[in-house]
Amino acid sequence: MNENVKENGNESANNTALLVMDVQEGIVSRIAGSGYLPRLVGAVEAARTAGIPVLHIVVGFRSGHPEVSDRNMSFRALPAGAFTPEDPNAAIHPDIAARTDETVITKKRVSAFAGSDLEMVLRARGITHLVLSGIATSGVVLSTLRQAADLDYRLTVLADGCADSDEEVHRVLIEKVFPRQAEVTTVEEWAGAVG
């Protein structure tokens, strides 16, 4: 696992992007434990230092949620005004806030690709390797990994750069499901390899 990161880390900096997904005020507040955000900050800083683009993926809707179908069990349960431009909980957590030169991509569903222009941004920048992080492991990370794998992206998952409110679900995904389609490593190992 580590050897592949080290072997490919530097050569892939030009075609690699770190996706920081759904790390928004209203979502971070659902995750227990104080160690998650500092680790994620470490991943973001490592990417910035190595010249790897950091793409911030957020879920967002227009006022009144016209994009949300009443058939969508996940999103129809959102309170009125949630994740709209007026909602302070929709903001990216200040610890990892996007810099002015970093792209923020708004999605309308669980996967980072669904209802967003992520694929266009990746193609325009020549990105073929995605490093995934975010909340929740069983939500945006899982959905994005599956879709990205089907789109033939090379994938790395930062195991401790992802978080989920269900620790057992997180463990099963990280240890048993994700390794079938992605390299799974830690923030520290990845940062060391790209540094």
State both tokens at 71: 């058939």
- Mean pLDDT within 136-149: 98
Predicted local confidence at residue 107, as pLDDT: 97
Confidence category of residue 12, pLDDT binned at 50, 70, 90: low
Would you say the C-alpha torsion 124, 42, 176, 134 has a positive or negative sign?
Answer: negative
Q: Whole-model pTM?
A: 0.91
Predicted local confidence at residue 11, as pLDDT: 40
Predicted local confidence at residue 32, as pLDDT: 67
For residues 30 and 13, what is the distance between their CA atoms, to the nearest angstrom? 32
User: Counting beta carbons within 10 angstroms of the beta carbon of residue 168, is it exposed (0 to 12), middle (13 to 18) or buried (19 or more)?
Assistant: exposed
State both tokens at 111: 């996967």
Would you say the C-alpha torsion 51, 127, 104, 2 has a positive or negative sign?
Answer: negative
Confidence category of residue 136, pLDDT binned at 50, 70, 90: very high
* pLDDT, the chain, mean: 92
Q: Check residues 26 and 7 and name the one with the higher pLDDT.
A: 26
pLDDT tens for residues 84-96?
Answer: 999 999 999 999 9
Per-residue 3-state assignment (H helix, E strand, C coil) for the chain: CHHHHHHHHCCCHHHEEEEEECCEHHHHCCCCCCCHHHHHHHHHHHHHHHCCCEEEEEECCCCCCCCCCCCCCCCCCCCCCCCCCCCHHHCECHHHCCCCCCEEEEECCCCCCCCCCHHHHHHHHCCCEEEEEEECHHHHHHHHHHHHHHCCCEEEEEEEEEECCCHHHHHHHHHHHHHHCCEEECHHHHHHHHC
Q: Check residues 192 and 32 and name the one with the higher pLDDT.
A: 192
| Whether pLDDT at 137 is above 80 | yes
Confidence category of residue 1, pLDDT binned at 50, 70, 90: very low
For tokens 């940062």, name the residue.
191
State both tokens at 5: 């990161």
pLDDT tens for residues 14-60?
Answer: 899 999 999 999 999 888 677 999 999 999 999 999 999 999 999 99
